[in-house]
A and B are shown apart, each in its own frame.
Chain A
Amino acid sequence: AMEDGLGPGARICEGDCAVLKRDDVFKAVPVLRRRKIIFEKQWFYLDNAIGHIYGTMFEVTSGGNLQPKQDVEETTTDTKEAGTDNRNIVDDGKSQKLTHDDIKALKDKGIKGQEIVQQLIENSTTFRDKTEFAQDKYIKKKKKKYEAVITIVKPSTRILSTMYYAREPGKINHSKTLNRDDNYTPEAWKGGKCGVILCTQMCCLLAEKHTGSYGSIIQMYPGGGPVRAATSCFGFPKLFFNNALMEEESNGLTDEKQTSLQETEEESTTEAAMEINQTEEQETMDINAEDVEFKENKEKANKENVQEKQRKQWERRKKLIETAALLREKNADGLIVASKFHPTPLLLSLLEFVAPSRPFVVYCQYKEVNQVCYFSCYSLRLFCCLTYYLGFFKPLLECYTKLRERGGVINLKLSETWLRNYQVLPDRSHPKLTMSGGGGYLLSGITVVLDKGKSDSSNLEALKMEEPSCKRCRVQDLHC
């Protein structure tokens, strides 16, 4: 797996996908010459970064050029003098002698951020009275603002999942927990068999990383094609995609999917044809949007493209057929579900393809919604509200119940992870103020051989076996 070039020490090349980092903010960008990049209210070009080692820190200079930051650390800005407490520090709003205009003028002159920070310190009347810690904090804050250092790093799951969660949590269904909880990562899918996965791009990426190029992943996707924007950020070698077979799913309805699978295999269907047309249209539109200049050549290009597209379609069909055959073996090494759809039908249906004694995991943003306490009324109406809200959205709880009814699974666990970051500094260590909440929930378990025929009685047994006896419930009673 060394050939994937994702390790440290690699150099930034044109065409790479790189991640920009400033403090704790990340942004993934393609490395292209003469392409203006806007990041954290600054604009610049990446041209100068090409050829440097990943992890290099850059400063933005005038004209939007990136310049590697010199490693000379500041000469501990004479912070010898310091107060012991703040009993005499009064907030009169006049401690800073430099005005907004003065600072702007300094910036316009192209003066280095480091010098601006120094000037701010010198012109602060209260700086010397501040405690050593407060001075340190003041400098850090100003540096953050005026000394923007941009680091260019190689994408990794660690960086991309942090980036996605911070920038576009909606796109990954807020799946922080899943990104963190590698409990059921498909590391063991490497044996040559495959895992089935229906999920957001982020967790597909995870799976691909963990299998390396040694196993297969069947990615189910709704609609016309899989969304793989995050995967492309990763810059995987082509080899990965040969193994990552694609499978189609029609709008998340698994019944339909199975029929469409069969039809794809046996005969050309209208559904398949329609889908191909759609792809064609999409591609044409992409061409239109991309290059206005080539408008005249469009028709010609389209004709040339037709053959290419037909070849691609044929290849795609071939892959679909291969994938269908692979699925039909019902011998997958695991299942990951993390989609925007309701998880229960997906899980119940997709579990069929998984071999016994294999882990599966379902991610969902919601366990349930129960903001009951906002309602304050005195009559029965309260209970209407209460029960309505309790039952409003609780996909994983339902999933749990349905899985129990179905059988064929053990060690079911509903869980959530919390993450706490710490500031560790001499005499100033404490948890950071904010902690990630709302990272979602996981339902995980292990498949076992499903008793067919006497499934009803064995389900009851399974229930008895696993649920703590005092809290055992009658599942049938719940569906009213």
Chain B
Amino acid sequence: MSFVEYGDTIKDGDTAIVFLGHESMFPVKVQHGTVTQTKYGVIRHSTDLIGKKYGSKVTCSKGGWVFILHPTPELWTMNLPHRTQILYSTDISIITMMLELKPGSIVCESGTGSGSLSHALIRTVAPTGHLYTVEFHQQRAEKAREEFREHGVEHLVTVTNQDVCKNGFGVSDIADAVFLDIPSPWEAIGHAKSALKAEGGRICSFSPCIEQVQRTCLAMEEYGFTEINTLEILLRVYNVRTISLQIPDLGKAAEDNSSTGFDSSNPSNQGSPCANLQQGTVQFKSGVPLREMVGHTGYLTFATKS
């Protein structure tokens, strides 16, 4: 297993995702002789996990079962231990696209935080690219290094423990892209510029507040960045539900029944709603938005050094 390459079977030392159902899951470090408790009972690593195929159903001691999944940056994002606020996959997806990342890209990032974005960046630039990530909090930097080692991606990433606003990224004229998620990104724009290759590259800054964005945009302009563009991406998730609506009895049912042949004449009959006029209800499938959705994570400001 590695976060950048699929393996078929679960091995000792792997990080696997235990899927309990309906968005309920957690990561587990696979180790001979270890047991993991779940609400469905115990999982014994030596017998239940090691040697099994990823994606298998594993029966726990109480007879309930779980699925064991291969780790991916997306699953890790949903399950990682939070040391800071993290970026989620929707923002990450647009960051990787707008930064034009691909295998072989060199990326600078700060701060490392909980490593949610780092894992996605590493996967995108693997196997020939590299991530230089800067974290000023010593313990967080140390923890990130440890995780990268456990996840088999340490050769693709360098973690530096310093203040990016004062000391920069520790590299210059090397990066194809820079990503900033720090409280005062405008103080790091100069360092970002010198980290980027002389021939140019892309930059992105993530900030929750519009005042931060304004200062960042001004700094970007000052340092000669072009194509400055601020955007926000929102994810809307739908529950697929069967809805049942009652038909009002207006006393005209009998005479209008003749015109209700829509169900059989409907060419896309499959999955079409069914009206049960006798019972007085209509059933149909609908995508219902969740009652609450994430309204704001942060503004993403992109620009080009050319």
Interface, chain A (partner B; CB < 8 A): 1-2, 6-10, 53, 55, 156-158, 161, 179-185, 187-188, 190-191, 193, 209-214, 333, 355-359, 367-368, 370, 378-381, 383-384, 386-388, 390-394, 396-398, 400-401, 410-411, 413-424, 426, 429, 431, 441, 446-449, 451, 465-468, 471, 473, 477-480
Contacts and interface: CB of A to CB of B under 8 A. Distances in A.
B232 A473 contact: no
B121 to A, nearest CB: 10
B99 to A, nearest CB: 8
Residue among B104, B213, B233, B259 having the largest count of chain A Cβ atoms under 10 Å: B104
Given A386-B282, A448-B67, A480-B263, A179 B97 contact: yes
19 contacts: A188-B5, A193-B6, A211-B103, A214-B127, A355-B8, A357-B67, A359-B74, A368-B287, A370-B286, A379-B252, A379-B256, A380-B256, A387-B262, A397-B271, A419-B234, A422-B231, A446-B69, A477-B242, A478-B242
A380 B250 contact: yes
Contacts of B123: 187-188
Contacts, number: 269
Interface stretch (B15-23, B110-118, B160-168): B15-23
Interface in B63-79: 67-70, 72, 74
Q: List the 5 shortest-distance A-B pairs measured between CB atoms, nearest first.
A: A9-B199, A356-B55, A1-B104, A212-B103, A357-B55
B289 to A, nearest CB: 9
Nearest to B65: A461
A144 to B, nearest CB: 16
Interface of B: 4-6, 8, 19, 21-23, 53-57, 67-70, 72, 74, 89-90, 92-94, 96-98, 100, 102-105, 123-124, 126-129, 176, 197-201, 210, 213-214, 217-218, 228-242, 245, 247, 250, 252-253, 256-257, 259-260, 262-263, 266, 268, 270-275, 277, 282-287, 299, 301, 304, 306
Contact of A424 (B230, B234, B235, B236): B230
Contacts of B201: 8
A388 B263 CA distance: 8
A448 B5 contact: no
Nearest to B306: A55
A181 B67 contact: no
B246 to A, nearest CB: 10
B95 to A, nearest CB: 9
A434 B86 CA distance: 29
